[in-house]
Structure 1
Amino acid sequence: MTETTADVLAEVRGQVGFITLNRPKAINALSLGMVRALLAQLLAWQHDDKVLAVAIRGSHKEGVFGHFCAGGDIRFLHAAGSTGNPELEDFFTEEYALNHLIFNYPKPYIAFMDGIVMGGGMGISQGASLRIVTEKTKMAMPETVIGLFPDVGGGYFLSRCPGHVGEWLALTGDTITAADAIAFKLADAYLPTAEQGALWEALATQSFADGQAVQAFAQARTQAQAPGTVRSTADIDRVFALPTVQAIIDTLEADGSEWAQSTAAALRKRSPLMLHVVLEQIRRARGMDVASDLRMERDMVRHCFYLRPGQSETVEGVRALAVDKDHNPQWNPPRIEEVSEELWRAFFVSPWPAHSHPLAMLKDA
């Protein structure tokens, strides 16, 4: 049985449902159509007794694997946010519902996180029961670069990283590789790139007693650790445990080390407003389940586009990075020191009563 849309390929082979993200020219960036195709397919397979488990991978210009998913389609976000296209609202509601389904999927869900895994790509892989990285994995939640926040459940999964790694990754958007991903609890296992194809094919041709047997088979062919050294988190934990964005930037700028100076310089390029929002997001999310975190993020993303009409940090950030490509976003306020508490706290006020929230139906298993 094969079901194909242009950008999402889905088929059942043997006892496993296989999904290939097939938009390589955009590094498999998720469109609304792709979100809908993924959600429909996973909903269909969750009650199909012939499908014991699901495996998902990306593709690149020369074939399969290579890159997983670079995130959401930010050009669409800019266009929709600039013109009032109501599909913007649909995109986030349906994407977050997809993220929630994956976190609560009743069958093993195996994510082959090769190459670029960022933003929305993290949202469709962090909830996997087996998260496999390779020597080519480049993982990040770089949303503050475009005046957004690490959404798609980012508050939940980043806040579960050890120490204050979550705050560091969320605020800076820094990229990590396989060894760090496993150490920071953002991946479960390592598989050399060259071995992915053989495991994918084996999942299609073996006979399995149940879903757990599928996962055990896959896990047995991976390694618990990835090659390379794991980054020390002593400085990260010391700085990113501080109570405010101002305290973090002041401490970094007073520290003469190369890491502190480069980290401070990176933060100075991000949206000052969204840095304050993101720090609060990660800390609130530590006490939330997935459903509650996604509802909070749905509130936040609504405010990203509509809190200040004509002054969306996200629309401006995408413009500077991907549309005009001048890499000179005009943030408002322009400096960390100028962000009022009233302004960032407004992002955590829900526009909806609880019973009418667009994600009111989400419940964790």
Structure 2
Amino acid sequence: MSIDLFNKLNEYNNDPETKFVLLSSNNNKSFSTGGDLKELVEKSNTSEGVTPILSSMYSLVDLIHNFKKPIISLINGFVIGSGVGISINCSHKIVSENVKWSMPENKVGYFPDVGTSYYLSKLGAIGLYLAMVGNFINSPDLLKLGLVQNHIPFHLFNQVTNDLCLSPNISNKNDIDFILNKYKRNLKITKETSHIVKYNKIIQRCFNTKFNSVSEIFNKLNKELLENNNPNEKEWLVKTVTTLMNSCPTSICVSFNSVHRSLNLDLKEILINDNRIGNRICSRKDLFQGINGALIDKSFKPKFSPSSIYDVDQSYIDSLFLPFDNEKKELFYHKKLYK
């Protein structure tokens, strides 16, 4: 699917008759729930490995990010993993009121990839929290964080699509903005509607970017859990600590390091790092354990190794970011991956 999308978008990108591209879903419940992690596990044990899969996905994200023409994502329902990478890199990002957005890969022994650390690294403590914990956030959250631009009610999506596609006068970004603004509606961003607004203070304390290690974050969370008497924050703490304790320790450490390293990198550099990490992390038993537990035998509890973030070797995490000995595995090594 990612190769088909790459080829079609590349065609549109170079077609003088194409004025813009619109990405939406024919599923009323989701925009995209990401790539097939089960396929990654299966391919990891083959001679070609996971390089072709990751290369196609990351190249697609790079193409969307650098698209020469306006590219619009109409986002509704679940947006998970690769769906985030595809939609967040469009020039126009429109959400309905139904969006549930997440990068939950740490829970299955993978990591938040597809270049998302490019955006999360710019959000400080909030970005670290979203990368490490992988909780769902909604449309008000996304608008508050600036990850999307506008809200248009889902029942108007078909009208927006028709208006855009049937307009004879679209020649630039401003013409698209004019049409989108006709349908744009305000969405309340308050403590009652936004998870990020409601828990911002405690997220800032517990996921402070000045912490130099994952263990400092865990220590802060546990300290708050013992001392914090605010009932709302207490509930958040219990859920957050429980989620982290049930996630893969190595993946949590990878996501922490990825966000920190990405702050001063461009998207292409981050995708190259994601490709290095992805190829290496797919050979770990943790991913098999996580996928088997979450997607195959759902009663099976993964046994990650190491089982605690305090036992994760930082030198191993650093090694995941290193260039390959075989340069052919590097992302963008082959100039023409597809048509």
TM-score, normalising length from structure 1? 0.83
1:29-73 residue CA offsets vs partner (Å, 9 max, x unmatched): xxxxx111100000000111111000011122xxxx441000001
Q: Which has the higher contact order (CA 8 A, sep 6+)?
A: 2
Please point out which of 54, 68, 71 is paired with 1:106. 68
Residue 320 of structure 1 deviates from its aligned partner by: 1.0
Aligned to 1:49: 16
Aligned to 1:316: 289
The answer to whether structure 1 residue 192 and structure 2 residue 153 are counterparts is yes
Q: For 1:211 and 1:353, how far apart are their aligned partners in 2?
A: 43
CA-based RMSD of the aligned residues comes to 1.9
Aligned to 1:3: none
Q: How many residues align?
A: 319
Q: In the alignment, is the contact (CA less than 8 A) between 2:41 and 2:282 conserved in 1?
A: no
Residue 196 of structure 1 deviates from its aligned partner by: 0.6
Aligned to 2:31: 68
Aligned to 1:259: 236
Aligned to 1:250: 219
Please point out which of 297, 310, 316 is paired with 1:343. 316
Residue 88 of structure 1 deviates from its aligned partner by: 2.4
1:145-176 residue CA offsets vs partner (Å, 9 max, x unmatched): 11111101111121123x31110000000100
CA 1:312/1:323 → structure 2, altered by over 3 Å: closer, same or farther?
A: same
Q: Which runs of 5+ in 1 are unaligned?
A: 1-33
Q: In the alignment, is the contact (CA less than 8 A) between 2:82 and 2:114 conserved in 1?
A: yes
Please point out which of 88, 112, 116 is paired with 1:154. 116
Q: For 1:84 and 1:356, how far apart are their aligned partners in 2?
A: 15
More strand by share: 1
Aligned to 1:175: 136
1:129-151 residue CA offsets vs partner (Å, 9 max, x unmatched): 11111111000111101111110
Q: In the alignment, is the contact (CA less than 8 A) between 1:57 and 1:111 conserved in 2?
A: yes
Aligned to 2:230: none
Residue 214 of structure 1 deviates from its aligned partner by: 4.2
User: Which residue identity lines up with residue 255 of structure 2 in the other structure?
Assistant: V
Q: In the alignment, is the contact (CA less than 8 A) between 2:50 and 2:282 conserved in 1?
A: no
1:196-222 residue CA offsets vs partner (Å, 9 max, x unmatched): 111011111111241314421343134
Q: For 2:185 and 2:318, how far apart are their aligned partners in 1?
A: 41
Residue 125 of structure 1 deviates from its aligned partner by: 0.7
The answer to whether structure 1 residue 90 and structure 2 residue 63 are counterparts is no
CA 1:218/1:290 → structure 2, altered by over 3 Å: closer, same or farther?
A: farther
TM-score, normalising length from structure 2? 0.89
User: Which residue identity lines up with residue 247 of structure 1 in the other structure?
Assistant: E
Q: For 1:135 and 1:224, how far apart are their aligned partners in 2?
A: 10
Q: For 1:140 and 1:120, how far apart are their aligned partners in 2?
A: 10
Q: For 1:133 and 1:327, how far apart are their aligned partners in 2?
A: 35
Residue 75 of structure 1 deviates from its aligned partner by: 2.1
Q: In the alignment, is the contact (CA less than 8 A) between 2:59 and 2:332 conserved in 1?
A: yes
Q: For 1:85 and 1:175, how far apart are their aligned partners in 2?
A: 36
CA 1:218/1:166 → structure 2, altered by over 3 Å: closer, same or farther?
A: farther
Q: For 1:304 and 1:70, how far apart are their aligned partners in 2?
A: 21
CA 1:214/1:39 → structure 2, altered by over 3 Å: closer, same or farther?
A: farther
Q: Which runs of 5+ in 2 are unaligned?
A: 226-233
Q: In the alignment, is the contact (CA less than 8 A) between 2:160 and 2:183 conserved in 1?
A: no
